[in-house]
A and B are shown apart, each in its own frame.
Chain A
Amino acid sequence: MKRWHIVAAICLLVVGFIFCVVPLSSQATELTLWTRIPEILDGWDYIISEFEKLHPDVRISHRLLDWARTAEILLPAFAAGTAPDLIDICDVSIMKQLGERRMFVDLTEFYSEYRDRFPMAVDVYAAVDGRYYGTPIIVSALAHIYYNKNLVEKYGITPTDDWTYSDFLDACEKLKNQGEIPIVNGNKEGLDGEHWIQALMTETIGGSGIMALLERTDPDTGPRWTDPKVVQAVQAFEDLHKRGYFIEGMAAMGQFVAHLQFAAGKAAFHHLGTWISASLAKHPEFRWGWFRFPHMAGEIGATRNGGVVSHLDLITINSSSVHQDIGLEFIEFYTRPEVSGHAFYDLCHQHPSVAGALKGKELSEFDQASIEFYETCDDNAIWFSVYLPHEVGTEHITRASTAISSGELSAIEFCKRLEKAHQDNLRAAQE
C-alpha cells in the first residue's frame, strides 16, 4: 500500500469520526432562543444556566439580535424555516400576523393556569383574537422626564411632579438663555421623536384617544391623525425645535449617544422610558432626578394619570419547534417570580413583568416611583410604531419625526401624510 493511501484512509477515519460519532455521542436536546435586549443579557444567562441544571439533557443556545432590526432578521428566518424554538417578539403588529397564522404555540391554557403571574396590561401585547401567544419579560413606562440635578440646581430650577407644561417650557427658556442645552434626545432612529409625540398626544387626546386612533378599522370614519388635538401635540413637538430647546444636531444623533450626553451632564432634561435607570446606574457620580411628564393646562391629560405601560417584549414558542414541551417548561421556569426577580432585577436592574417578582427586594426611590406608575396608570396606550403596520407607523411616525427634527417637515404635513397612509392601509385591508 502506498503511503498516501494510508494518509488518506486516516484522514477519512478522522473526518468520519468528527461528523458521525461525535454528534451521536451527544444526547443533549438543543433549543435555540433569540432575544433582543442587551441590558438583560446577564439575566438570560442566569435563567438558561439554572434551567439547564434542572434539565441536564437540555442545552439552550442563546442569540442576541440587533434590538432595532429584530423583525427584519426574524421574518426571513420564518420564511426559510430556520426560526428558533423560542423567540423574543417585540412588535404587536408582527405578533398579530404570526399569531393569526398559528405560527406560535397557543399559550391560552398556560395563561389560564398561571394568570396570577401576569398583569392585565400584558393582554394587549400578548393576545391575538383572545388567544395568548407570548409571555412578558420586563415592564417599562413612558411617563417621566429625567433631569440633571447639578444643572437645574445651578439655575435655581426645582422640577416637581406638579409642574405644568408651561413651567417646563419656562425652565427650558431660562436654561437656553444661560447658554445651556435644555433637552437632549437623539432622533437619528426616530424613536425619541416618536416618544415625544406619543407623550404629547397623551396630554392632548389621552391614552384612550391614542388607542382609538390605533384601533381604527374604517378609513372614512372615526378619529383621524389630522384632528386638531393630534395636530396640536405634533406642533408642540415641532415647537420645541423651533424654540431651540433640543440639542443641536438631534436629527443626526443616535438614541444611545443622547443617553451618554445626558449621563455626562451635558444637558438638563432627557425624555425616555423607565429603562433609562439601568443605564444611569452605570454612572454613579451623575446626580439625576425625574418628574411626571408635565400636564398641559386644560387638556384631557391633566385629568388622568396617562402614559405607556409597556410589556413589549414577549417570549413565544415557534409552532414548528419539535421541542414545544421543553419550551413550555422554559417559559414556566423563567416566569416564576423568584427567577424573574433575580434574573431581571438583581442582575440587570430592570423591572420584571411577572407579579411578585420584586417582593421583598430593596427598591430604589426611582423603582418605587416607576412601580407606582405601573399600578396606577389609568390611561394606558401602546407604542405607535409596534401596533400599526410598519409601512404606516414606522414610516410615517418614527422616520417622519426625524424630518420634523431636521426642519424638513411641518407638523401639519406630518399629520396629513400619516392620515393618508393609514387610510390607504385600512382600505387595502378591506379589499
Chain B
Amino acid sequence: MRGPAFFLLPALILYVVFVIVPLCGTVALSFTHWRGFDFRTLRYIGLSNYGKLVSDPVFWKSLFNTFVFTGVSVTLQVTVALVVALFLEQNIFLGKFFRGGYLMPAAISLVIIAIVFDLLLSPALGILKELFKPVGLQRLARFGMWFSDPKKAIWGLSLIQVWYGFGFSMFIFISGLKSIDPQLFDAAQVDGASGLQKIVYITLPLLKGTASVAFLLATMWGLSVYALPYVMTRGGPGHATEVLSTWAYYSGFQYQQMGYGSTIAIALLLLGLTVSFLIFKFSAIGKIE
C-alpha cells in the first residue's frame, strides 16, 4: 500500500470504527426488540419496528416538527446570511469586527447556547423584561412564553437556530463573494449599472453554487438538531418541539426500546440522504457554468 491510500488509512480506520460500524449496528438493532441493558434479551422481530413507525403518531409529529424547524431555520438563516454578507462586503466601518462577531456563535457548543438561552428567556429568571422595559419594548420579553405555547415553541427554537447558524452561512457567502472577479463590477459600472442591478445581475447568479453549499449545510444542521429542543424544552410541551433525533433518543434510552429508537434514527438517516440527494440534483453544487 503506498501513495495516497497509505495517508488516507488512519482517517479511514477512524471513519469505519466510529461511523460505519455504529451505523451497521443501528441498522441491525432496528430489526430487534431490546431493552438496552442485557444482550441476552435481544430478539429478532423482523420489520415490526418499521410497522410501528407508520402507526406512531409521535413519529409523524416529530417528522413534521423536523420539517418545520429545518424549513424555517434554513430559509431565514441563508437569507439573513446573504444580506449581511452583501452588506459587510461594502467595506463598512468595523466590518471585519462584525464578520468575526457574527461567526462566534457557531464556534460555541450548541448545548451551551441552549442553556444560556433557556436562562435568558426564562419567564421567571430571564433578564429580557428588565432589558426591554426601559425602552418600552417589554412585549418582546414575552418571547420566552413561546416555549410554553405548543403552537409557537418550535418557531422559537427555529429563531435561536438562525441566530446560531447564520454566521457560518455568512462566512460561506463572504468566501463566495471574494471569489467573484471585481472586473465584472467595474465593467457593469462603466455600463451604468446601479448597485442593486450589480447585485441582481452579477452577484446573485455567481453565488448560486455558494448558496447551494450554504443551503446544504444549514439543512443538514437543521435535520440533525438535538441539543436545542432537548435542553430547552425536552421536546415539550407534550411533543410540540419533538424532533426525530429527540424522539429516537427518548424511545431508545428512556423508554428502553433500543430497536425502535434505532428505527427512528434510520428514518432520520434516510430523510437526510433523500434531502441531500435532492439538493445536489437541483442545485448548482459541482456544476460548471
A contacts, CB < 8 Å to B: 71-72, 74-76, 78-79, 97-98, 101, 103, 187-190, 247-253, 257-258, 260-261, 266, 389-391, 394-395, 399-400, 402-403, 405-409
Contact A260 B124 (CB under 8 A): yes
> Can you list 26 A-B contacts (CB < 8 A)?
A71-B253, A72-B253, A74-B37, A75-B253, A76-B36, A79-B37, A97-B35, A98-B37, A103-B37, A188-B237, A248-B148, A249-B123, A249-B148, A251-B236, A252-B123, A253-B124, A389-B256, A390-B255, A391-B257, A394-B254, A395-B255, A402-B236, A402-B237, A403-B239, A406-B238, A408-B240
Contact B144 A249 (CB under 8 A): yes
User: Which 8 pairs, one residue from A and one from B, show the smallest C-beta to C-beta distance?
Assistant: A403-B238, A406-B237, A252-B148, A249-B123, A252-B147, A251-B148, A251-B237, A391-B255
Contacts of B39 in A (CB 8 A): 79
In the complex, the chain A residue whose C-beta lies closest to that of B145 is A249
CB distance from B67 to the nearest CB of A (A): 19
Size of interface on B: residues with Cβ below 8 Å to A: 32
Query: Of B35, B40, B148, which is within 8 A of A405 by CB?
Result: B148
Contacts of A403 in B (CB 8 A): 150, 236-240
In the complex, the chain B residue whose C-beta lies closest to that of A103 is B38
Contact A75 B122 (CB under 8 A): no
Instruction: Knowing A249-B145, A260-B124, A403-B237, say if A390 contacts B36 (CB, 8 Å).
Output: no
* Residues 108-149 of chain B, each 1 if its beta carbon lies under 8 Å from chain A, else 0: 000000000000001111000000000000000000110111
**Bound complex: CA A353 to CA B239 (Å):** 37
In the complex, the chain A residue whose C-beta lies closest to that of B38 is A101
Contact A97 B255 (CB under 8 A): no
In the complex, the chain A residue whose C-beta lies closest to that of B260 is A391
Contacts of A101 in B (CB 8 A): 38, 40-41
Contact A75 B237 (CB under 8 A): no
In the complex, the chain B residue whose C-beta lies closest to that of A261 is B124
CB distance from B124 to the nearest CB of A (A): 5
In the complex, the chain A residue whose C-beta lies closest to that of B36 is A75
Q: Given A71-B256, A75-B256, A98-B37, list of 11 further CB < 8 A pairs? A: A71-B253, A97-B37, A103-B38, A187-B237, A248-B123, A248-B148, A252-B123, A261-B124, A399-B238, A402-B234, A406-B238
Determine if B219 is an interface residue (Cβ-Cβ < 8 Å).
no
Do most interface residues of chain B lie in helix, strand or loop, or is the interface mixed?
A: loop
Contacts of A247 in B (CB 8 A): 124
Residues from 22 to 59 in B contacting A, C-beta threshold 8 Å: 35-41
Determine if B73 is an interface residue (Cβ-Cβ < 8 Å).
no
Contact B125 A260 (CB under 8 A): yes
Determine if B77 is an interface residue (Cβ-Cβ < 8 Å).
no
**Bound complex: CA A249 to CA B142 (Å):** 10
Contact B124 A408 (CB under 8 A): no
Residues from 93 to 114 in B contacting A, C-beta threshold 8 Å: none
Query: Of A72, A103, A257, which is within 8 A of B124 by CB?
Result: A257
Determine if B233 is an interface residue (Cβ-Cβ < 8 Å).
yes
Query: Of B35, B148, B255, which is within 8 A of A394 by CB?
Result: B255
Contact A408 B144 (CB under 8 A): no
* Residues 4-37 of chain B, each 1 if its beta carbon lies under 8 Å from chain A, else 0: 0000000000000000000000000000000111
Contacts of B149 in A (CB 8 A): 406
CB distance from B182 to the nearest CB of A (A): 50
Question: Which one of B150, B153, B233 has the greatest number of beta carbons of chain A within 10 Å?
Answer: B150
Contacts of B145 in A (CB 8 A): 248-249, 252
Instruction: Knowing A249-B148, A407-B150, say if A188 contacts B236 (CB, 8 Å).
Output: yes
* Residues 228-269 of chain B, each 1 if its beta carbon lies under 8 Å from chain A, else 0: 000001111111100000000010011111000000000000
In the complex, the chain B residue whose C-beta lies closest to that of A186 is B124
CB distance from B179 to the nearest CB of A (A): 44
Query: Of A75, A390, A394, A402, which is within 8 A of B238 by CB?
Result: A402
Contacts of A402 in B (CB 8 A): 234, 236-238
Contact A76 B253 (CB under 8 A): yes
In the complex, the chain B residue whose C-beta lies closest to that of A400 is B238
Question: Which one of B234, B237, B257 has the greatest number of beta carbons of chain A within 10 Å?
Answer: B237
Instruction: Knowing A394-B255, A406-B150, say if A253 contacts B122 (CB, 8 Å).
Output: yes
Contacts of B38 in A (CB 8 A): 78-79, 101, 103
In the complex, the chain B residue whose C-beta lies closest to that of A101 is B38
Contacts of A97 in B (CB 8 A): 35, 37
Instruction: Knowing A78-B38, A97-B37, say if A252 contacts B125 (CB, 8 Å).
Output: no
Contacts of B36 in A (CB 8 A): 75-76, 79
Instruction: Knowing A97-B37, A399-B236, A409-B238, say if A266 contacts B254 (CB, 8 Å).
Output: no
In the complex, the chain B residue whose C-beta lies closest to that of A193 is B237
Contacts of B41 in A (CB 8 A): 101
CB distance from B83 to the nearest CB of A (A): 31
Contacts of A189 in B (CB 8 A): 234
Contact B148 A250 (CB under 8 A): yes
In the complex, the chain A residue whose C-beta lies closest to that of B39 is A79
Contact A75 B236 (CB under 8 A): no
**Bound complex: CA A402 to CA B257 (Å):** 22
**Bound complex: CA A250 to CA B145 (Å):** 9
**Bound complex: CA A71 to CA B37 (Å):** 10
Contacts of B150 in A (CB 8 A): 403, 406-408
**Bound complex: CA A381 to CA B125 (Å):** 34
Contacts of A251 in B (CB 8 A): 147-148, 236-237
Instruction: Knowing A75-B36, A188-B234, A403-B238, say if A249 contacts B124 (CB, 8 Å).
Output: yes
**Bound complex: CA A97 to CA B122 (Å):** 38
CB distance from A93 to the nearest CB of B (A): 9
Query: Of A78, A250, A252, A390, which is within 8 A of B37 by CB?
Result: A78
In the complex, the chain B residue whose C-beta lies closest to that of A417 is B57
In the complex, the chain A residue whose C-beta lies closest to that of B118 is A254
CB distance from B224 to the nearest CB of A (A): 20
Contact A252 B256 (CB under 8 A): no
CB distance from B202 to the nearest CB of A (A): 47
**Bound complex: CA A189 to CA B235 (Å):** 10
